[in-house]
Amino acid sequence: MKTLPPGQKESLIFPRFGLPQYANRFPENPETVKFLVAGDLDKFVISDELTSLPRTRQVSDFHCVTTWSKLNITWSGYLFSDFYNHIILPKISEEMTFVVLKAQDGYKTSLPLKDLLQSNVLLADQMDDRPLCIEHGAPLRIVAPDHYGYKNLKHIKSIEFYKDHKVIKQGLLSFMDHPRARVAFEERARKGPSVLFRWLYKFGIESTIRDFEKATLEYQKKLRIKH
């Protein structure tokens, strides 16, 4: 049996999940990959450019900070490092160190660039060999298996590259957001003991899953009425 990272428990389901205030927010464009590149460089839009990169497929585990882990999820898409090296690097003259990720549902997060350049970080457009569904981040999401779920941004709207660290107002409360959030080091929150957060977050799991499920069903019902 696989050993799980500290404080994590295996979940047999892979629920749509997040902060409750995002349960009712869905991407305007879940169909086509299209996002903005911005920050300390001249802005531009990415649409078909990714298809010039080699595709990659990986099986990895997913660890939510609230202590559930779903093992062996098959993702495919493009390596973030290929995207950076082949599409971003040729357009910049100064070194970037920090990345802000923004989503179509208003969620945001950030990571040091070096964390996103790890060889298991993807811009994923498929899960289980099918296009990403709405629940799991259509049309394109970040997959960063060594980082808690909250750094695995779904429904990518823009990726901003900065020369220096930047303080952003996150989708999370500021104490909740660790600047790196590495699972192996149990970097659950910016402040406070991790074991406390293991325990606190556990109480919210079931109601969060229910809220997200209910919102998804309502969204699907509305879509059916429209079509």
Ligand X SMILES: Nc1nc2c(c(=O)[nH]1)N[C@H]1C(S)=C(S)[C@@H](COP(=O)(O)O)O[C@H]1N2
Report if residue 26 touches ligand X, rule: CB under 6 A: no
Report if residue 201 touches ligand X, rule: CB under 6 A: no
The residue (of 50 and 64) whose beta carbon lies closer to Mo ion is 64
201 in helix, strand or coil? helix
Report if residue 145 touches ligand X, rule: CB under 6 A: no
Report if residue 137 touches ligand X, rule: CB under 6 A: yes
Restricting to residues 37-76, which ones interact with ligand X according to CB under 6 A?
64
Q: How far is CA 138 from the centre of its chain?
A: 11
Task: Give me the residues that bind Mo ion (CB under 5 A), please.
Answer: 64-65, 149-150
The β-bridge partners of 103 are 156
Report if residue 136 touches ligand X, rule: CB under 6 A: yes
Report if residue 183 touches ligand X, rule: CB under 6 A: no
The residue (of 83 and 150) whose beta carbon lies closer to Mo ion is 150
Report if residue 153 touches ligand X, rule: CB under 6 A: yes
151 in helix, strand or coil? helix
- Out of 155, 178, 188, 198, the residue judged to bind ligand X by CB under 6 A: 155
Restricting to residues 96-125, which ones interact with ligand X according to CB under 6 A?
103, 105, 107
CB of 141 to ligand X, least distance (A): 7
CB of 73 to ligand X, least distance (A): 9
Which residue, 124, 43, 133, 41, is CA-closest to 82? 124
Report if residue 152 touches ligand X, rule: CB under 6 A: yes
Whole-angstrom Cα Rg for the chain: 17
Which stretches within the chain are classed as H helix?
Answer: 80-83, 113-116, 194-202, 205-226
The residue (of 96 and 102) whose beta carbon lies closer to ligand X is 102
- Out of 84, 124, 154, 160, the residue judged to bind ligand X by CB under 6 A: 154
Question: β-strands 9-10, 68-79: how paired?
Answer: parallel
What is the token pair recorded at 34? Answer: 């299209």
φ, ψ for residue 57 (rounded to 5)? -130, 135
Distance between CA atoms of 45 and 135, rounded to whole angstroms? Answer: 24
Question: β-strands 44-46, 35-39: how paired?
Answer: antiparallel
Q: Residues in the site for ligand X, rule: CB under 6 A?
A: 14-19, 22, 64, 103, 105, 107, 135-137, 149-150, 152-155
